[in-house]
Amino acid sequence: MPDQDAQASPHLSEPHGSDRPEPIPLGWAGASLKADYLNFGDAMSPVMVALVGGRPVRRVAYESSELRLAAVGTIAHGFRGGEVHVWGAGCSRWANPSAPLSARRPYERPTDTRMVIHATRGPLSQRLLLGGAGGPNVFGDPVWLLPRFYRPQVKKKWALGVVLHLSDLADRAYEPHPLPEFQRYVVPETLAGAVRLITTVTPIDMLSLKAKVDEILACERIVSMSLHGLVIAEAYGIPCLYFAASGLKPGLGDISLDPETLVNPRVADLYGGLGVKRRLGYVQPRRTTTDWDDVIDAIDRAWTPLDLDGDRLMAAFPFGAAPLRPAPGTEIWSHPLVRTLQLQHDVAQLQNASKRKRTWPWLKPIALA
């Protein structure tokens, strides 16, 4: 049986002198031929892997017999077969988190899969993937590293940005349309120029991903149900709060970071990976309207900046970090390795390809520094 408990040990490298580097095999929640949109956070996975690894990226199915990487998103529980190298990914407590609660099964590491843990989003994901058996204790969502590659001067347009989760939306349009019963997202006309609703639904192209980052950066403050709305805000130092839908009472309050409570476990995992034991959030029930002035005041009173040891996360990159740099006078989004990333795939073709075992004779383990 393959070893399931490999921890943060090997980097993966190819021989020196390779003229055409092999693409990094990556599993991520990308667009399919049936979907005409990207989910912003998920789509940042190949972007961050290309930026940090300095190499092309090739999408591989979650279930496959070949070696592959898991990076951005709550996705590690979905991988099965072959060898999976985890770098910054999150893991659900459930093997089937999209199922109705009564039908969900607790996640257990598949016996036919070798999981090599280099870094996880946070300590909860590490415990789930290693069965509580220690780990490298290298944490962080890879999107946290984006400011190392892209730090534009964006003019502030809105006093507050409100980033919605996909589950908040009535459709998958490129403009935010909250479910009508979710009254907390109603913005009165008097605040239409100050409060900006932001959807993570994004057109399938690289410039639209850049535009989504810029949209968040154009806000003076952020409240977010989306995990990556928080990641972008925290990474760029934008004052922000988690926009919780349930809690002890509405308004500014202590958001327990115990993943066994009602708080979103992804949020607990993210902040736990940042070494945060306590974080304030803003609780607003979905079916009641929001006092946006109070939200703005709460952020101004409560938010404190955070820091992540990005060097450790970079050093843990399984294929050896070789960060991209833009050409003079250009932005990283126009780099050929980023600009040419394929963001939409035929899922059936990916699944068929996953049945063919692929060998990687050039991959050699080397010790972490």
Q: How far apart are alpha carbons 237 and 230 in whole angstroms?
A: 10
In tens, the pLDDT along 124-183 reads 999 999 987 789 999 999 999 999 999 999 999 999 999 999 999 999 999 999 999 999
Do residues 210 and 77 both lie within one domain?
no
Is there a domain that residue 3 lies in? no
Quick one: 320 and 298 in the same domain?
no
Q: Stretch 310-332: mean pLDDT, rounded?
A: 95
Same domain, 151 and 108: no
At residue 14, what are phi and psi to the nearest 5 degrees? -115, 160
Domain enclosing residue 47, as ranges: 10-143+311-367
**Concatenated DSSP letters for 249-269?**
SSEEEEE---TTSSS-HHHHH
**Judgement on whether residues 264 and 361 belong to the same structural domain of the protein:** no
| More reliable by pLDDT, 11 or 238 | 238
Instruction: Please check whether residue 192 lies inside any domain of the structure.
Output: yes
Q: Do 153 and 282 belong together in one domain?
A: yes
> Which residues are CB-contacts of 99 (< 8 A; sequence separation ≥ 6)?
none
Q: Do 304 and 326 belong to one domain? A: no
Residues 173 and 236 in one domain: yes
Q: For residues 115-137, b (16+ Cβ closer than 10 Å) or e, as one string?
A: bbbbbbbbbbbbbbbbeeeebbe
pTM: 0.91
DSSP string, 58-90: EE--SB-SS-EEE-SSB-GGG-BSEEEEEEEEB
| Of 287, 308, 329, the domain-final residue | 308
Residues 218 and 281 in one domain: yes
Q: Please count the helices (runs of H) and the strands (runs of E) in the chain.
A: 9, 17
Half-sphere exposure of 226 (CA within 13 A, CB side): 24
Per residue in 30-75, pLDDT (tens digit) is: 999 888 899 999 999 999 999 999 999 999 999 999 999 999 999 9
Is it the case that residue 366 has pLDDT exceeding 70?
no
Burial of 100 (0-12, 13-18, 19+ CB in 10 A): exposed
Pairing type for strands 82-89 and 113-120 reads: parallel
269 and 344 fall within a common domain: no
Tell me how many domains the chain contains.
2
